Structures are given as C-alpha cells and as structure tokens.
Chains A and B, each alone.
Chain A
Amino acid sequence: MQKENVANVANYLTYKGKHKGLLGWVLSTDHKRIGLLYLYSIMTMFSVGVLLGLAMKFELLAPGKTIMEAQTYNATFTVHGVIMIFMVVIPGLPAVFGNFLLPIMIGAKDVAFPKLNLLSWWLYVAGVFLVLSAVIFGKGAPDTGWTFYAPYSFKTGTNLLPAIFGAFILGFSSILTGLNFLVTIHRMRCPGMKWSKLPLFVWTLYGTAWIQLLATPVVGITLVLVALERMFGVGVFDPALGGDPILYQHLFWIYSHPAVYIMILPAMGAISEIIPTFSQKMIFGYKAIIASTMAIAFVGYLVWGHHMFTAGMSGTAQYYFSLLTFIVAIPSAIKVFNWISTMYKGSINVQTPLYWAVSFIFVFLIGGLSGLVLGSLAANVHLHDTAFVVAHFHYIVFGGTGFAFFAAAHYWFPKIYGRMYDKGWANAGWLIFFIGFLALYTPMFYLGIMGMPRRYYDYLDDFHGGNILSTFGSWIMVTGLVIIIINLIRSARKGPAAEINPWRGKTLEWTVSSPPSLENFDEIPVIAEDDGPYNYK
C-alpha cells in the first residue's frame, strides 16, 4: 500500500514535461529539481575536495616527501580551498535545501524567478568547469591558496586566470540565488504567513540572501582587478607597480568574512528546525533567534579586519576589529542557549538527524570558542597563520556547515525522495564520521599552539606526533563518510516508502506528499491566526 503511494502520484521526480530524461532535469525550472541538481553537483565537488584533503593529510603523515612534491602540495591546498569554499559550502545549504524547501515552507508553488534559478545553476556549472580548466590546462594548477593574496598572485607562473574568472562566475550564481530568495520571501508568502510565522530556516535564508547580494560584488570587483593587473599590469595591488597588497587583503576579506556567515547562517536555520521537531516542542525564543540571525548578518560586515591583525594596521583599527569580533560572537551564543533550552522538558525522539544536530552544537561550540581565541589581539599574534587557524575554520565550516548539511539531508531525505534510509547504517556512519572528525582536526589545534605554520608542505620532527594522529583521523572520517553516502544513495532508490510526516514536524513541507507533487500544493494553504511553524500541542 505504501509502495503505491510512491508510484501512483505524479510527483516532481516522475513528472514528464517538455523534455525527457536528463534534459528534463538540466532544463527544468522546478525549484525541487534544481535543488537536486545542486545536491548532485555539490556532492560531486565535495568528493573531489575530500580526496584532495586526504592527499594532503597523507603527504603530512611524515616529514619530508611522502607522496608528492611541494609544488603539487601547494596546488592541492589551493584547489581544495577553492572547491570547498566557492563550490561546496557557499552554495551549500541555500542552493540545495533552500531551493527545495523555501517555496514549500512559505506555501508557494515555486521561487519568484524560476528561470533565473535555473540560470544560477548553469552559472555554477560554468564556474566549476572554468576553475577545473585551470587545473587541467596551462602551466600547472594555481598555487596561491584560495585567498589569491597579492603580490604572489602576480608572480606565480601557474594558470591562475581561469580560476579567478571561475570564482567570479560562481559569485554571480550566488548573487542571483540570493536575489531570487529575497524576492520570493517578500512576495510569495501564502495568506496568513506573516513574518512572525516564518520558519527559522526561512529567516536564516533571508539574512543570508542579503549578505549574498551585498557582499559578493565586492569580491567580484576585487577578482576582476587581480585579473586586469595580471594581464595588463594595472598596479592596484602589486607593490612592484606601486600598488598596495594590504588593500587587496581588505577588499578580499570584506567579502570573505561575511561569506563565513553565508555558510553558517542557513546551517543554524536547519538546526533550528530539527531540534524542535525531535523535541516535539516549540522552539525556545523564536524572536531571539531571529534577532540574532539579523544581528549576525549585519555585524558580520564589520569584522573583516580580524584576518589581518599581523599585517600591520593602525592600532585603532586593531582594537576596533577585535572588539567587534567578540561582539559578533554573542548572537551565536544566544542561538546555542536557545537550542539547548528547546530540549528542556521536551519529549525527545533520538533519531539520526538529532545525532547530527547535537554533534553540530558540540563542534560548532569548539569552532566558535577557538574563534574567540583568534579574535583576541595578543593570542592572535601567536596563532595567526598556524595550524590552529586551520583547525578553527574546519571546525566552523566543516563542523558547522558540514554537520548541519548532513543533519538536513537526514531530516528532509524522506520528503525529498519519498523513501526512508536505513537508520542503523546512518547512525553507524555518523558515529564513525564524528570520531574521525575529532581525531582529524583536534591535533591541529595543538600543532598550532606549538607553532606549526599553515600551508606547510614539510615540517620539523617536533610536529610529527600530532600530524600522525591527524592523518589517522582523516582515514576514520572518510570511512564514515563513505558509509553515509552509500546508505543515502541506496535508500534513495530502494528504501521503504516514507510517510508524509515521519518525524511529526509542524512546518508546511510536512503537510505535502512525499515526494511533493510538481506544484507542491493542490491548493495554496492559508495559515490560521493561531497556527505557526512550531505549534506543538
């Protein structure tokens, strides 16, 4: 009986439109199909990035050459960084789960501009191929680090230009998605869906969209200037031509710091959905979470200088940036307190998504607290540009965004595919992944405190122990990852049919069929006065 539910209803997966087969996907303007297109492309790039990460860890297993030359190593961390940042975590949750769920959560049939939405994905693909072309063709893969710092980015003989243009195009894709979401949230909410009734995931997408729209153009212009300088020697950043390399760093971080919040806000949104559902309890401090989301989105613009404490800014700028960095941490702390309070007196249903959500809070705390260490002027002097920083941002972006991504994937999986995954394997995968993650990155904190600089192909013997442990961790973690991904792929094709609302959630997506029909709703829902996203009784 359950099986028929999947087969008979013409849902968005089985629907046949103008085009058939693959074309029916890559030319589809349906927000759900686009969400899945993003899911598959992002997971592909993520796998490539992971392989590069593993290769680096293997190289660092022992001092001296282990498997590759220094040039290869430098190119590897550059390409790894560019892939992970621009192709995985920046599009990440908004492009996949935002696309899939935003219209459903606000009771709409699609986003405001479906064709623009498809264009965003195509731009994403174009950007990916441009960057990859830099790796495959020309005089070797870029070796500048994902930050493209001047003036090394003008000195290197590697094939940098396509990578820069690729990042530029990926930026456009992100801007268009942001714009689309903004208009959708403003204009397409169903009757009765007041701002005060928006699910928190939608609120975080809203905050994120503003950052995408306002901050991304800055890095776009900066990258164009780098390209012009490399081609025609304009002389904005290159000191040899009278330019200022510190100016480059300012412009780069004016975008790239807020970009950290592009990565983390939607992750926080997903966690804010999962915890109430599995506690069967209304979210604690709905308004406080919204306020903290918006506070992060705006104060996040003002702290970029904390990446440059040792670059030699004026004293006033130093403590201004340090002070604001501490202040921007507070809204994140507020969120953590509210999540934990939501569990208080709940009726907690311990399932895979909750494991991910709770471990998210744990690694996010470590990432955030180590960020406070780096925000402190004195401690920063010692720890900046060491392995400590590498540990910190992997805890935040990988631990934060990555864990939330898997939490979201396990939470919405039954809705997306109309099938359920094997919970035993899912939990086992989570546990192995979690242990591996801690073993991989925790030693890097220690290595940084001991003084091992980052982006080091080789290191002195003193640092050997920590590196061995970290490399072992990477092997454990990838084992977990393989289990998780295989389990999900298998279940998407063969898993038992899922109910409409397996977790007893209260947001609108749990009222439509699993998988949703092409137009989501037969009739646009109307939200009653006493209804809301978390009104558990």
Chain B
Amino acid sequence: MYSPEVTQASNFVQGVDTAFLVILGISFFFLIGLTAVMIYFIYRYNRKRNPVATQIHGSTKLEIIWTVVPFILTMVMFYYGWLGWKPMAKPPKDAMEVTVYGRMWNFSFEYENGKRTDTLYLPKDKPVKLNLVALDVLHSLYIPAFRVKQDMVPNKENNFMWFVPQRVGTYELYCAEYCGLQHSYMYSYVKVMEDSVFQSFIADTTKVVAADIDSPIATGKRVMQNIGCFACHSLDGTKLVGPSFKGIWGAEHTVVTGNETRKVTVDEEYIKQSIFDPNADVVEGFMKGLMVSYQGQLSEDDIANIIEYLKTVQ
C-alpha cells in the first residue's frame, strides 16, 4: 500500500514517482485546458450567439505545431520513464540474495544460509537481489511501497528483481499476476529491520522451525499452514482444488496412474509420494498438474510430521 509516510521506502521510489508525476502534470494541464476550451466554444459559438459558421478548412501551421509539441512532450515523458527504470535492470554485485518460490498460492523465501520464511525479512540499506522461481504458473511479485514488480515465469532463467529497502517497517507484498482460485489471497509482507536485528534473526535458524515443546502433530499442521497446503486441501470435507484431508489416513482412494485406474490405500508411502511426486498417482476427479512437487522444499522430518498430523484429521 502506498502512503505518503513511506516515501523513499526503497531506492526506486523517487525515479518511479518522478516519471509518474511528470506525466500526471502534463496530462492535467492538457485535460483541463482542452476541456475548458471545448466548453468555451460550445458556449461562445452556440448557434444562438453565432447563427452563421465561418468555414475554415484547416491550417498546416497549426497541424505542424500540434504534432511537434506533443512529440517533444512525449519524448520528455519517455526519458523520465527510462531514467527511473534503467537501474532496475542492473543489480549490484554485492547484493544479498534471497530465493523466492511462488506457487499456487503462497510465497516462500529462502536466505543464503538455507533459512526459510513465509514473510520476507530484510536488513535496511542493504541491496537485495530476489531470485524468482515460479513452481507452477505465472505469478508476479509486487511490493507497492517499493515500486517494484516482476513477473515470475516458470523455468525462466535469470528471473530476478533487486532494490534497497530504506526504511524500517512492514509493507505488503502481493502476487499481481492472475494465478487461479486464490490469487487474491496470495500476499505476504516484507519486514525491513535494522541490520543488527536482521543479523541475529537470520542466524537463528530455529525461529520458524517448530519449537521443541511442540508435538509432531502440531508441527505438521504448522508446516502445512506455512507452506500453503490448505489453499487447495480442506480439513472438513469441502472439495477445493484438491481432495479434502478429512479421514484421509487409511482410506481407499481411486487414482489414475498413467492411463490406468487403480485403488490405493493411503499410507505413509502414498502420502510421501503424493507430496514429492504428486502427478504420478492422480486422485480420480481431480486435475493433473495443479499440485507440483515439494521436493527440496520439505525435509523428510517435515513429511514425517505432516503424516502424523494427517493421521489425526478425521
């Protein structure tokens, strides 16, 4: 969300806002000017006041003027747009890198030391380069307060954006490219903190991983919440994009494997496969390809906790 208090929240705000305001200024001038002239003409040359029109064919001089002047003005507009945009394409070499995974319908952020979060934590005044990975369909990472947006395209190499956060605070982060059912719920936050705070935050890799007192069941549920399984799977039997988890453990499900339909019993092996290779067995009545593999994003421990939790969903 844009607001005057967060001006200069990133290094790109000024360039973008200048380009915007230059055009806005010129636009208002023309809009108001031309509208006023139009209304004046309608009043002044109304047929009551001016019963006979004076025929004028045109004027080459005027045509040239109103071709050249807009041309110059639009080139000025272009120039400011280019000026504000140019630095966005060139990240500094020493930028801190964060990998962003976008999937239907959540973001997750992985830092250089392997720590993962579902909110983007960043140190103030340090350039950061976000490497964008789309796992299923197009998404677009948009942080209005920072004036940055970049589409996340599956399989695209060198898909990145960069910026320097310049103010401590919390800012909204949206998916701006339509990506299906829960597109409007695919948002998160950027938390910009003082560098020292950030360093201790990032060093503590246990922060978002479950605290020890948690049972595997609670941990499993939290892992699933954080990574967004419930966007597609309900707990109460409602059919969403994927089958509900209600009573899943031990149930007999009909799945399509290749071209063949067969029955399977939901056990540890099946759940694990459903998570790491979801399209090998596709539950009958659901679309193939919607759920994509979580290989590399969930550890064996996570899976074990998830299974413990799923056993309890009745």
Contact = CB atoms under 8 A, between A and B. Distances in A.
- On whether the two chains bind one another, the answer is yes
B176 to A, nearest CB: 4
Interface stretch (B22-30, B118-126, B258-266, B269-277): B22-30
Nearest to B177: A385
A378 B80 contact: yes
A323 B31 CA distance: 22
A346 B50 contact: yes
Given A155-B137, A345-B50, 12 more contacts: A154-B289, A155-B290, A239-B155, A312-B156, A322-B82, A323-B78, A369-B30, A372-B23, A375-B78, A376-B84, A451-B1, A456-B183
Contacts of A154: 289
B53 A281 contact: yes
B312 interface: no
B85 interface: yes
Interface in B38-69: 38, 41-42, 45-47, 50-59, 62-63, 66-67
Interface in A372-392: 372-373, 375-386
Contacts of B172: 451, 460
Given A155-B136, A460-B172, A378 B83 contact: yes
Contacts of B34: 336, 340, 361, 365
Contacts of B82: 319, 322, 377-378
A451 B174 contact: yes
Nearest to A284: B58
Contacts of A323: 78
Nearest to B240: A71
B19 interface: yes
Contacts of A155: 136-137, 180, 287, 289-290
A315 interface: yes
A285 B57 CA distance: 6
A535 B55 CA distance: 9
Interface stretch (B145-153, B190-198, B219-227): B145-153
Given A279-B53, A280-B53, A330-B74, A350 B46 contact: yes
Interface residues of A, number: 90
A446 to B, nearest CB: 10
A48 B123 CA distance: 51
B58 A379 contact: no
A437 to B, nearest CB: 15
A372 B23 CA distance: 7
A22 interface: no
B47 A349 contact: yes
Contact of B31 (A239, A287, A315, A366): A366
A379 B20 contact: yes
Q: How many B residues are at the interface, by size bracket?
A: 35 or more
Given A152-B180, A312-B159, A381-B85, A458 B150 contact: no
Nearest to B145: A451
19 contacts: A70-B182, A245-B153, A322-B78, A333-B66, A333-B70, A340-B38, A341-B56, A362-B31, A376-B77, A376-B80, A378-B85, A378-B147, A379-B20, A382-B144, A382-B148, A382-B149, A450-B144, A451-B2, A451-B145
B71 interface: yes
A380 B81 contact: yes
B50 A343 contact: no
A428 B176 CA distance: 39
A386 B184 CA distance: 12
A343 B38 contact: yes
A347 B138 contact: no
Interface in A427-458: 449-451, 453-458
Given A71-B181, A155-B180, A326-B75, A310 B81 contact: no
Interface string A108-124: 00000000000000000
Given A343-B41, A385-B142, A156 B153 contact: no
Nearest to B143: A451
Interface stretch (A129-137, A143-151, A396-404, A484-492): A143-151
Interface in B109-144: 136-138, 140, 142, 144
B303 interface: no
Interface string A59-78: 00000000000110010000
A330 B67 CA distance: 7
Contacts of B156: 239, 246, 312
A337 interface: yes
A376 B19 contact: yes
A239 B154 contact: yes
A459 B184 contact: yes
Nearest to A71: B181
Contacts of A24: none
A359 B146 CA distance: 37
A41 B59 CA distance: 43
B15 interface: yes
A463 B187 CA distance: 15
A157 interface: yes
A377 B87 CA distance: 11
Contacts of A358: 38, 42
A70 B183 CA distance: 9
B92 to A, nearest CB: 17
Contact of A381 (B16, B38, B184): B16
A286 interface: yes
Nearest to B27: A369
A379 B19 contact: yes
Nearest to B50: A347
A386 to B, nearest CB: 7
Contacts of A377: 19, 81-82, 84-85
B35 interface: yes
A511 interface: no
A537 B54 CA distance: 9
A381 B107 CA distance: 20
A346 B66 contact: no
Nearest to A157: B287
B30 A74 contact: no
B63 A334 contact: yes
A226 B137 CA distance: 15
B176 A311 contact: no
A362 B23 contact: no
A312 B46 contact: no
B153 A341 contact: no
A341 B56 CA distance: 9
B20 A378 contact: yes
Interface in A337-360: 337-338, 340-341, 343-350, 354, 358
B56 A284 contact: yes
Interface string A260-299: 0000000000000000000111101111100000000000
A281 B172 CA distance: 55
B168 interface: no
A366 B175 CA distance: 28
